[in-house]
Structure 1
Amino acid sequence: MTTALKLSNAQKATLGKALIVSSLSRNEREALLACATAVRCQPQDILFHDGDTADYFYSVLSGYVRLYRPGSDGREADIRICEPGDSFGECLILDGCDYNYSAQVMEPAILARFNLEKVRELLEDQPRIGIAIVRSLSQHLLSTMDCLASDRMQTAPQRVASYLLTHCTPNGGTASLRLPFQKSLLARKLGLAPEALSRAFSALRTAGVTVSGRSIAISNMDMLQQI
């Protein structure tokens, strides 16, 4: 991870569309963004470990970040894959001193890194920033509940089918998409082991799903929707 730099105007514009910033006035937005710097990260960079003292929260400008919790037996449980526009760690603004999960960069990424102490100092004079943070946390909670329900109710092929249907580009009764990341990261995003993802794609061949690297073609949208 390189030395932190000032946010560029383009990066500020990108952040302006993020949920944690988008509802703020211009002055509030500028005050919050003044607490942030840009950091460029490489794949496998560790941003922080579970239990580390929390100094920052983050917003993803480009790339992907994996949030996970290590177990005592050495295994790791994936919690969330953060995509451009997502933020993480902002719950520590309101409560907590240590990170309660680990964060690892999975693709070349540029992140906005917010100083927690500086943001906390803003809240007394700029309470609407706190409301924006709560709104972001509420969205995280709802998204987590949706993921949990999906994990409990859907089989692996159904999870993959659902992802394909919500991310593909339809063309009549067919569709296509190109994954923005490796299939191993898709497996983590869907809460599947890599071998379970491979079996799910194999099961979806009967619905006309063909996979070539990151490119996926769907020849029968109706059948995929039935699955």
Structure 2
Amino acid sequence: MNRLMKPGARERETLLNSGLLSALGVESVTGMMEIAVIGNLPARQMLFREGEPADTLHCVLSGYVRVYKLDPDGREADVELYGPGDLIGASVVLDGGRYAATAQAAEPSLIARFDLKRVRELASRRPDLAVVLATALSAQLSKAFASLADDRLHTAPQRVARYLLTYCPQDGKAASFRLPYQKSLLAGKLGLAPEALSRAFSLLRNHGVNVRGRLVHIGDPEALRRV
């Protein structure tokens, strides 16, 4: 990570609106801001590696960070894709051991860093911070369970359809939008190989989905819901 510095006005605003700080009282916000430092993470640079001592809590301010696991043969399995406002790996606050996965910038990103020892010390005095950290951990665990169930219960086209529908209005009208990140990242997020994602997009053409690069047009969201 490039040179670390204290958050400026824009970074402070992003932090204040993040899931980590938005629910805190004034004293806890002040305490977290005092220990926060920020730094730029170039695309593909590692934030931390699996097995390294966990000494820092991270919050994404801009860009996306890909978290993945490696098997002994060097194959990668995506765990999560974190975007602006997301807290990366809340579990390290409690277990205090080593990072359980590897984190890498998917694109140029701005990251806020909090010294983990100081976060724990502050949480021991500030119940609202302890509750927020526990809530973040619970939310990430629930999301992991939901992702596991989605992998078990739905085919690749169904997973892609469910993701695309999150961008569609509830009134059932046609929708056009741009994917927030490259298709390779979307594939990992959905637990698919890139070629499986391409095949799913091809199959979904029959359900009114037209994809050009990162631009997506859905002509009939109701048809997509029936996939």
TM-score range, shorter chain: over 0.9
2:96 is equivalent to residue 96 of structure 1: yes
What letter matches 1:92 in structure 2? Answer: V
Answer with 27-36 or 88-97: which moved more.
88-97
* Shift in alpha-carbon separation, 1:158–1:150, aligned structure 2, 3 A: same
How far apart, CA to CA, are the structure 2 residues paired with 1:107 and 1:209?
Answer: 27
Structure 1 unaligned regions, length at least 5: none
User: Residues 195 and 212 (structure 1 numbering): CA distance in 2 closer, same or farther, change over 3 Å?
Assistant: same
Cα distance change on mapping 1:99 and 1:9 into 2, 3 Å? same
Supply the distance in 2 between the matched residues of 1:96 and 1:211 (Cα, whole angstroms): 44
CA distance in 1, matches of 2:128, 2:192: 38
Report what 1:41 is aligned to: 41
Query: Residue 64 of structure 1 aligns to which amino acid in structure 2?
Result: Y
Q: Please give the secondary structure, in 1, of the residue aligned with 2:198.
A: helix
Corresponding position: 1:135 with 2:135: yes
Letter in 1 for 2:128: R
Distance in 1, Cα, partners of 2:168 & 2:177: 5
Once the two structures are overlaid, the 10-residue window that deviates more, 111-120 or 162-171, is: 162-171
In 1, the alpha carbon distance for the partners of 2:78 and 2:45 equals: 16
Q: Counterpart in 2 of 1:144?
A: 144
Partner Cα separation in structure 2 for residue 225 and residue 123 of structure 1? 44
- Is the CA contact (8 Å cut-off) linking 2:44 and 2:106 kept in structure 1? yes
Aligned to 1:120: 120
Once the two structures are superposed, the pairs formed by residues 46-65 of structure 1 within 5 Å of their partners are 46-65=46-65
Distance 1:150 1:195 in 2: 19
Equivalenced residue count is 227
8 Å Cα contact 2:172-2:220 kept in structure 1: no
TM-score, normalised relative to structure 2: 0.95
Runs of 4+ in structure 1 off by over 4 angstroms are: 169-172
Q: TM-score, length-normalised on structure 1?
A: 0.95
Q: How does 1:58-97 map to 2 (within 5 A)?
A: 58-97=58-97
Partner Cα separation in structure 2 for residue 16 and residue 6 of structure 1:
14
Aligned to 1:174: 174
Cα distance in 1 for residues equivalent to 2:160 and 2:91: 30
Partners of 2:51 and 2:167 in 1: how far apart? 35
The aligned counterpart of 2:12 is 12
State the alpha-carbon separation in 1 of the partners of residues 90 and 201 from structure 2: 36
How much does 1:154 deviate? 0.7
Q: Which ranges in structure 2 are unaligned for 5 or more consecutive residues? A: none
Higher mean C-alpha deviation, range 121-130 or range 71-80: 121-130
Aligned to 2:199: 199
2-structure distance, mates of 1:124, 1:202: 53
Paired with 1:4 and 1:211, the residues of 2 have a C-alpha distance of: 39
> Over the residues paired in the alignment, what is the CA RMSD in angstroms?
1.4
Q: How far off its partner does 1:170 sit?
A: 7.1
1:214 matched residue in structure 2: 214
Whether the aligned pair in 1 keeps the contact of 2:172 and 2:222 (CA below 8 Å) is no
- 1:225 aligned to 2:225? yes
Aligned 8 A contact 1:56 1:114 in 2: yes
Q: Aligned in 2, Cα 1:180/1:72: closer, same or farther, shift over 3 Å?
A: same
Q: Quick one: percent identity of the two aligned structures?
A: 44
The CA distance in 2 between the partners of 1:137 and 1:184, in whole Å, is 27
In 2, the alpha carbon distance for the partners of 1:89 and 1:221 equals 34
User: How far apart are the structure 1 equivalents of 2:89 and 2:144?
Assistant: 15
Deviation at 1:213, TM superposition (A): 0.8
